[in-house]
Amino acid sequence: MRAVIIGAGITGAACARALARAGFAVAVLERGAAVGGTSAMCEGNLLVSDKAPGPELALALHAADRWYALRDELRDELGPDFPSIEYERKSGLVVATTHTGARALKTFSGTQRAAGVEARELSVDDAGKLEPFLTRDITAAVHYPQDAQVQPAATAEALLASARRAGTEVLTGVEVTGAMRGIDGRINGVSTMNGRHGADIVINAAGPWAGAVASSLGVSLPVLPRRGMVLVTTRMPHRIFRKVYDADYVGATQSGDADLQTSTVVESTAAGNVLIGSSRQRIGFDDRLDLGVVREIAAKSMRLFPFLAEMQILRTYGGFRPYMPDHLPVIGEDPRVPGLYHVTGHEGAGIGLSVASADILRARILGEDSPVDAAPFTVDRPTLVPHLREMAR
């Protein structure tokens, strides 16, 4: 069986690895450089803390276990010459700064606990022990030991290298422009700027461009880019030990508003740079610098960690999250075009959910039991159908 995967971001890489290991002859087609899209312009949070009980949380919990094992698997397989994926189960600390915020956070974490998440309410003092440089102006704190992080670009490269070792061919500079269809209507390959590629199945893993790729293949898919900006400070001795974020963040991830929202997520990287995120804004693929956004993120980060005021911002970067109107990734076959699968729409969680999504894909294709209930992620789920219709008009 031949599989063509469109897009060499972390999603395409994880899918390629899963399918190549299942015995498929896999070709990944990437129009630019591998790991040159959103997967190189994001942060590497592997979070359960920001997810409300439901299918995405179930996927994230499965993912949390997978990452833990994957770190050693990839290291053993790729050897010491390969850059480290910098997996660290450093845990998350979510804090509220208002009384309403505190109530909401406590209720939210209670529902998460019921769904199997480790979420420990801390006193302000205990939060201060975990994060001595955190502001004392907080009204509630919840500690999430399962939250972890990776360096996303290295992780995507590692999954891709592992896929290559299992026989995957990665072709860069190859842009997919259309579908080849058999007389039965099944997709049996793709056309590209550089010729055709036959395949038994085609996987659309084009991230925020997955909607455009779907249209070129003849179907609609309501994936939209949602811009995010991150600020990076100069290196400094470690003063932030976990992922620390403002409880507003949870609201922002769940909101569908097109307007600018910022919420503070602060963390140190292994090298000692502090990453401060992030914003959410639906403005198409507009990548111009907007200091209004940067200013707001900067101001909020100082409130969480007052010492940051004197630290220097070295650079900013931004990327486009693949946004779905119903806030759930799509993982499955497109009923309109047999043989075409979509794995996308992970919005701000595509690093964390990449490998778990590939597990579901593999199970669906091979007809095996899925490690997580796959029904909520199907293309024709009820919450997506109206959008499909709307787009198809």
Binding partner of residue 173 among another protein, ligand FAD, none, CB under 5 to 8 Å per kind? Answer: another protein
Interface with another protein, residue 138, by CB under 8 A: no
Taking CB atoms within 8 Å and a gap of at least 24, the contacts of 368-371 are 371/62
Nearer to ligand FAD, 134 or 170 (CB): 170
351 binds another protein (CB under 8 A): no
**Cα–Cα dist 67/100, whole Å:** 34
43 is in the binding site of which of another protein, ligand FAD, none (Cβ under 5 to 8 A by kind)?
Answer: ligand FAD
212 Cβ partners below 8 Å, 6+ apart? 206
Residue 316, Cβ density class (10 Å: 0-12 exposed, 13-18 middle, ≥19 buried): middle
Query: Tokens representing 143?
Result: 């500690």
Stretch that binds another protein, among 89-97, 287-295, 332-340, 381-389 (CB under 8 A): 287-295
**Under rule CB under 6 A, which residues in 321-350 are in contact with ligand FAD?**
321-322, 344, 346, 348-350
Whether the bond into 255 is cis, omega within 30 of 0: no
Q: Are 28 and 16 in contact (CB under 8 A)?
A: yes
Q: Minimum distance from CB of 168 to another protein (Å)?
A: 12
Q: What residues contact residue 222 under an 8 Å CB cut-off, 6+ apart?
A: 211, 324, 325, 384, 387, 388, 390, 391
The conformation of residue 85, written as its DSSP 8-state character, comes to -
- How many residues bind to ligand FAD according to rule CB under 6 A? 44
Q: Quick one: which of 10, 20, 58, 360 contacts ligand FAD (CB under 6 A)? A: 10
With CB cut-offs between 5 and 8 Å by kind, which of another protein, ligand FAD, none does residue 183 bind? none
**Distance (Å, rounded) from C-alpha 272 to C-alpha 296?**
23
Binding site partner of 262, from another protein, ligand FAD, none, Cβ cut-off 5-8 A by kind:
none
The residues binding another protein (CB under 8 A) are: 32-36, 40-41, 78, 81-83, 151, 153-154, 156-157, 160-161, 164, 170, 172-173, 231, 233-235, 271, 273, 288-292, 294-295, 298-299, 301-302, 308-317
